[in-house]
Amino acid sequence: MQKNVLDILINADGFVSGQEISEALGVSRQAVWKAVNSLKSEGYKIESVTSKGYRLVSYPSHINEKRLKNLIKNRIIGKKLIVLDSVGSTNDYLKRLGNDGCENGTVVCAREQTSGKGRLGRKWQSKKDSAIAFSVLLRPNASPSEISSVTPLAGLAVCTALRDFTELDCLIKWPNDVIVGNKKIAGILTEMSAEFDAVEYVILGIGINVSQTSFPEEIAYKATSVLLETGRHFDQNELLACVLHRLEDVFTQTNLSFTPSASDEYRRLCATIGRTVSFKRGTRRISGTAVSVSDKGELEVMLSDGSICLVNSGEVTVQGIY
């Protein structure tokens, strides 16, 4: 009922009277009034004028299922969409759906995560409605070694969507953190379920800081949000739809591995290139200069003797960026 009323308001050119809505839906004016009130309580601004009826003024800026479903035009990613008010971790929730056979491209998104996960057992923190937290399940027809570029490609998609949507100068900290200046605005956690030679599914968990005005003390020096950087409030639904659209573009155009144009674009936006980096090999810590990113997504680091070392996983510390 609420959705039907919303659809009418979205498609109306200006005011629609309560009478018109009740006739179109075959319900009482009282029922229309109730539906309008519950839409208002969800954050929709609806003007009501006695002689004219109702007019949709603005949408809630936080994640809202109806609004998001209206915005997503993808064929695969987000075609099946689950929006939750609160969940432990969208990745864990989607993993359970993945094990039960959910379709390629399923997206789970939540207004709040109570135990959001970072990589290597770390925590991802975001308060309710202040950030976008979602996970995408992909079922590539490939072996684990053939999909090593999935994570950097997701980083590229999030980075370019944020650049276009917010006009911020977002860059990528290899392999897939999205940064503005030297602070992180988005992070990605990739998890996979695979047999030795076949991937069952990949889950890309993506957190984007949108409306935070501050961060807990321990991460304040390295975290930022779209609001802090631009001073503007963006609609989380439009931003998420834009990111999902970009993910679909990137993954349908690349078949999950770097194409020459995707790797060129990745290198152009990679803030790690040209910087001094250090990483662990066994028990040793090695330093060098990041010189490029290979077509498989590996970081190419030049060591002091001029040799090139390829880094494909693990933690890399970048001088000058958190």
Give whichever of 117 and 245 is closer to ligand BT5, judged by the CB atom: 117
Judged by the rule CB under 6 A, the positions of this chain that interact with ligand BT5 are 89-91, 113, 116-120, 122-126, 133-135, 177, 184, 187-189, 205-207, 209, 219, 223
Give min distance, CB of 317 to ligand BT5, in A.
12
Instruction: Give dist(CA 276, CA 301) in Å, integer.
Output: 9
Which residue has its beta carbon closest to ligand BT5?
A: 187
Give whichever of 54 and 106 is closer to ligand BT5, judged by the CB atom: 106
Q: Report angle CA 140, 163, 87 to the nearest 5 degrees.
A: 55
Give min distance, CB of 153 to ligand BT5, in A.
16
The DSSP secondary structure of 247-281, one letter per residue, reads HHHHHHHHTTS--HHHHHHHHHHBTTTTSEEEEEE
Give whichever of 6 and 92 is closer to ligand BT5, judged by the CB atom: 92
Give min distance, CB of 197 to ligand BT5, in A.
27
* Contacts for 164-168: CB closer than 8 Å, 24+ residues apart: 164/242, 165/234, 165/238, 165/239, 165/242, 166/226, 166/229, 166/230, 166/232, 166/234, 166/239, 167/230, 168/226, 168/229, 168/230
Give the CB-side neighbour count of residue 107, counting CA atoms within 13 A. Answer: 26
Is there a contact between 206 and 186 (Cβ–Cβ < 8 Å)?
yes
Give whichever of 54 and 134 is closer to ligand BT5, judged by the CB atom: 134
Give min distance, CB of 88 to ligand BT5, in A.
8
Tokens describing residue 314: 């693990």
50 Cβ contact list (under 8 Å, min separation 6): none
Give min distance, CB of 45 to ligand BT5, in A.
28
Tokens describing residue 74: 């993808």
Is there a contact between 269 and 172 (Cβ–Cβ < 8 Å)?
yes
Give whichever of 105 and 207 is closer to ligand BT5, judged by the CB atom: 207
Q: Is 16 helix (H, G, I), strand (E, B) or coil?
A: strand
Give whichever of 9 and 87 is closer to ligand BT5, judged by the CB atom: 87
Give min distance, CB of 116 to ligand BT5, in A.
4
Give min distance, CB of 237 to ligand BT5, in A.
16
